[in-house]
Amino acid sequence: MMHWLFLYAPLLLLAVSLLALWVSWRPHRKPRLKVEFGNKTLVWPAENDRPFTHSPPFLHLLVTNHGPGEIVIVSAIAKLASFPQSLFTEARYQPLLPDFKHPYCFKLPTPRLAVGGQASIIFRYNKDCFLTNKPKRVGVVDSFKRTHWASRRELKKTLREYRESFPAQPAEAAR
């Protein structure tokens, strides 16, 4: 029995030390954000004969703080080139300008978002919006200078809807 204890005691002490280090580091973790992106429309009951009224469509970037702790969202960005393309191009990222006139759009930088808090960043949805550049990713930058991206699936779905809403115009024939 003693032989086993002397053989594995250093490994046991190392495991306990690593566990203590991990437990002490955990409270200092930075908050995680979940980012959702899509084409949305507001619907509310109308007064007269029509049952519902629809708002014009808009692009909606919804950010949820999953903790642990408060965080500030500094800006919204789009990644324009994939990694191999970015090796040969100059600008990889494009800052996105939200539609601050929309009543539900948060001003950037946002106030501190508590755990479970949400921020809604809204962009105009028209022929000349940032989707014309076909971004590879859309997301936000937080106060720790970390980038949080929306899922690629949501972005691809929104790009598909954009192409259906605003089909490419053929070039006019030269006169």
Displacement of CA 60 from its chain's centroid (Å): 10
pLDDT per position as a tens digit, 54-102: 778 899 999 999 988 889 999 999 998 777 776 676 668 889 999 989 8
| Tokens encoding 81 | 């080139």
The ranges assigned to domains in the chain are 32-165
Helix (H) or strand (E) holding 25: helix 2-25
CA distance 53 to 141: 34
Predicted confidence at residue 172, as pLDDT, reads 46
Predicted confidence at residue 25, as pLDDT, reads 65
Give the count of beta carbons closer than 10 Å to the beta carbon of residue 137.
19
**Average pLDDT over the chain, rounded to an integer:** 84
